[in-house]
């Protein structure tokens, strides 16, 4: 995820707002997640230690 997709971080309510674009209908979706849920969504895209990326 590119950092510029994060639109807001609210420290008091512990939420992260971000957006994504659906490539099927070219619509922008704004999402607000709890910080823990956001990190969980993010780390699933980190490859395993010995996984080769080229």
Structure tokens of 49? Answer: 């230690």
Q: How far apart are CA 27 and CA 41, in angstroms?
A: 20
pTM above 0.75, yes or no: yes
- The pLDDT confidence band at residue 9, using thresholds 50, 70 and 90, is very high
Closest listed residue to residue 43, CA positions, set 1, 11, 14: 1
23-54 tens-digit pLDDT? 999 999 999 999 999 999 999 989 999 888 87
Q: How far apart are CA 21 and CA 5, in angstroms?
A: 10
């Amino acid at each position: 995820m590119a950092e510029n997709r994060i639109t807001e971080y609210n420290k008091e309510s512990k939420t992260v707002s971000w957006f994504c674009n659906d490539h099927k209908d070219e619509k922008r979706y704004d999402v607000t997640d709890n910080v823990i849920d956001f990190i969980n969504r993010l780390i699933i895209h980190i490859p395993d230690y010995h996984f080769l990326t080229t």
